[in-house]
Amino acid sequence: MSELHLGYPFRAMVVFTASLALALLLLVLPVGRGLASPVAAGVVVVTLAAVVLRTLQRNRARAQNAHVMASLGATTASLPVSLRTRMPLMLVTGDSLPELFNRDGDGERVAHVGNGAIWLRVDNPGDLPHVGVAVKRWRDGRAPDGVVLSIAPAAHASDDALAQALRIARQAASDASRMLGARLPGYVAIYQRLTTSPAAAVDSQWYGVSSACRLTEALQGDAQRLEAVMRAAETQAQQAGSDPVPAARAAALASIIGWTQRAVIGPLTDPRQPAMPWPLWGTGWIDCGPASDFRSPWARDIHAHSRITPPPVAASPVPWPLPQPLIEAMPRRLWVSPRLTAVAHAIALLAFAGALAIWGSAGNNQALLSRAGADLDRFSTIPVAHDNARRNALQALVADRDQIDRYARLGVPLRLSFGMYRGDAVMPVLDTAISSYEAPPPPPAVVTLDSMSLFDSGKAQLRPGSTRALVGALEMIRVHPDRRILVAGYTDNIGNADSNLKLSIARAGAVRDWLVEASGIPVTQFAIQGYGDTRPIASNATVAGRAKNRRVEITLVPNAPKEVPLGGAPKEVPLEDSPGI
């Protein structure tokens, strides 16, 4: 069988949908990596499972219905591909199917192309769902147009056996409708010899009801349609004159219509049954069928109501006519190419993905602005004195500014795009905040001199030749002529504390005087301070420790307002009021 059309591209649509979901999840939506990765893995697993399952289902369905589809393809080989999708295709199941399909002595056939429809034989009603799916694929996504249930009363031993067969057919039709996603109009064709005339068995016609709307209610409650069928038979009997066959057929037709309502239509449409009621669009009767005697359900029904036993009749010669008149008023469904349907679904998915992308981009942009705003607020609320915290906040601002600048140079990433990007508006605010930062002055530069290399013990006059030790401090002062200089003296704890304090101040003054004379810097830029033995840097319990504590420190002080704190000394001297100035 040539398969030029593959129906709805389910697997391609699954892959397309999964690709959109992954792109949104990983590139656009405001989802953290910790959640996005497992969700993306789940999407991939589900997609692969769906593709594999669909492939297995299609292969299994193809294998199960290979002979049916091969026969259908061979039967319709002469039909154009476009015609086989537009021409009604009816599934036929139920009784006496060989008599309906074996024509012209050409052996058992599964399919038959009539003047108005393609008829496909389904021997087992339980196969209706699988055959329906295969037909839908063969017809380029168009489901079968209906199901004909062939009922031969003489083929059933009792009403109970017939009711059980009807329940099975009803359940199968319900399953097929669910699997196909489309309603399957039902048609009941009753094959029963109504007369004993050999001519009637050869040349018979259909009597019945067919409509473009459901006939369930009509068959149960609208007697006018059924009366019209019986009147048509009675009219034929009147026109036949003395011929007894039409009159006998009219009488038998009235009886079998009542039996059909009770024994066939009831089990198929009873809402109390587990399966969904089978919607019927047509019901017909024909004076044609298998051999019948008093044991058939219909014959027993006649005997129960009238005490009349119908005579036995022989089987009609094959082939029996297919119920073409029943489907002439069948409802027509609008058919759309599955590829066109897939395109519409793809467009709808793209529109939905676009809406999600815009929503996700808006969320990402809001997060960007919120983060920059939070960093700005944190930087502005940190006191100037807390420079380490301000530097950390400043680094966050610089990172925000660099990120936005990178977007401006290299392009905005997808997660911030879709017309939602607002980063350019915050760039001037970040630049202003970054430029407002002023680093604190560096710590004072300090030169420490050993007092014993400058002064004799207990003295405050510079020893001859000791000025070489002051050359380093002099060079530092000359490099920064605009800085103020603090000269501080320190002693060990040997001796009286007051004497040590006075000695430390005197030694600081001696060093200050030499520096003023050697550097030419005004004395107003100098300050002296004596700490005595109050600030040891080593233990006074050892000779080496006491040697370290006897020192003179020369410190460059950054420019500051007039009141410059010089460090919590027991005796602090402002620069303008320092001793010796």
Q: Do 367 and 30 meet the contact criterion of CB atoms below 8 Å apart?
A: yes
CA distance 191 to 323: 10
Band of residue 108 on the pLDDT scale cut at 50, 70, 90: low
Task: Indicate whether 477 belongs to any domain.
Answer: yes
363 vs 419: CA distance, rounded Å: 12
Res 365 pLDDT > 50: yes
Residue that terminates a domain, selected from 377, 404, 435: 435
In a domain, 66, yes or no: no
At residue 1, the pLDDT reads 39
Check if the beta carbon of residue 530 is closer than 8 Å to that of residue 501: yes
Tell whether 468 and 527 lie within a shared domain.
Answer: yes
**pTM for the complete prediction?**
0.60
Say if residue 170 is in the same domain as residue 310: yes
Same domain, 361 and 491: no
Q: Are residues 176 and 320 in the same domain?
A: yes
pLDDT tens by residue, 209-245: 877 666 654 444 455 667 777 777 777 767 767 777 8
Residues 246 and 263 in one domain: yes
- Hey, which of 245-249, 298-302, 349-353 has the most confident mean pLDDT? 349-353
Residue appearing with tokens 């057929």? 249
Report if residue 292 sits inside a domain: yes
**Beta carbons of 187 and 264 less than 8 angstroms apart:** no
Question: Both 426 and 460 in a single domain?
Answer: no
pLDDT digits over 396-431, tens only? Answer: 999 999 999 999 899 999 889 988 898 888 999 999
Residue 5 lies in a domain: no
pLDDT tens sequence across 474-510 = 888 888 888 889 999 999 999 899 999 999 999 999 9
> What pLDDT, on the 0 to 100 scale, is given for residue 578?
35
What are 17-59's pLDDT values in tens digits? 999 999 998 888 888 878 888 999 999 999 999 999 988 877 8
Residue 466 DSSP symbol: G
Which residue, of 282, 300, 335, is where some domain finishes?
335
- Do 479 and 349 have their domain in common? no
Co-location of 254 and 392 in the same domain: no
Specify the pLDDT at position 214: 66
What is the reported pLDDT for 215?
60
User: What distance lies between CA 567 and its chain's CA centroid?
Assistant: 66
Sign of CA dihedral 400, 403, 406, 410: negative
Q: What is the mean pLDDT of residues 164-183?
A: 90
Rounded-to-integer distance, Cα 84 and Cα 87, Å: 5
Asked if 134 contacts 65 with a C-beta cutoff of 8 angstroms, the reply is yes
- Residue 576: pLDDT above 50? no
HSE-up of residue 110 (Cα within 13 Å, Cβ side): 16
Does 496 lie in the same domain as 394?
no
Question: Does residue 393 fall inside a structural domain?
Answer: yes
Residue closest to 259 by CA, chosen among 223, 305, 323, 228: 305
For residue 160 the two structure tokens come to 């109970």
| Residues 111 and 104 sit within 8 Å (Cβ to Cβ) | no
Number of domains in the chain: 3
Domain shared by 456 and 398, yes or no: no
Query: pLDDT category, 560, cuts 50, 70, 90?
Result: low
Q: Report the pLDDT value the prediction gives residue 345, as an integer from 0 to 100.
A: 94
Q: Which of 188-202, 304-318, 468-482, 489-503 has the highest mean pLDDT?
A: 489-503
For the chain, give the longest Cα–Cα distance: 167
Q: What is the CATH number of the domain that holds 561?
A: 3.30.1330.60
Can you say whether the dihedral through the CA atoms of 254, 259, 265, 266 is positive or negative? positive
Question: Residue 376: inside a domain, yes or no?
Answer: yes
Q: Which of these ranges, 151-165, 189-203, 341-355, 557-571, has the smallest mean pLDDT?
A: 557-571
Once rounded to an integer, what is the mean pLDDT over residues 344-373? 93
User: How many C-alpha atoms does 10 have within 13 Å on its Cβ side?
Assistant: 14
State the residue range of the domain holding 152. 84-103+110-335
Q: Is residue 435 scored above 60 in pLDDT?
A: yes
First to last CA, the chain: 117
Please indicate, yes or no, whether residues 327 and 354 belong to a single structural domain of this protein: no
d(CA 139, CA 492): 110
* The pLDDT value given to residue 527: 93
CA dist., res. 492 & res. 366, Å (int): 65
More confidently predicted of 142 and 170: 170
pLDDT for 579 equals 35
Q: How confident is the model at residue 571 (pLDDT cuts 50, 70, 90)?
A: very low
Q: Do 330 and 359 lie in a common domain?
A: no
Chosen domain end from 303, 335, 367: 335
Q: What pLDDT score does 171 carry? A: 93
> Is there a domain that residue 352 lies in?
yes
Q: Residue 570: its pLDDT value, please?
A: 39
461 falls within a domain: yes
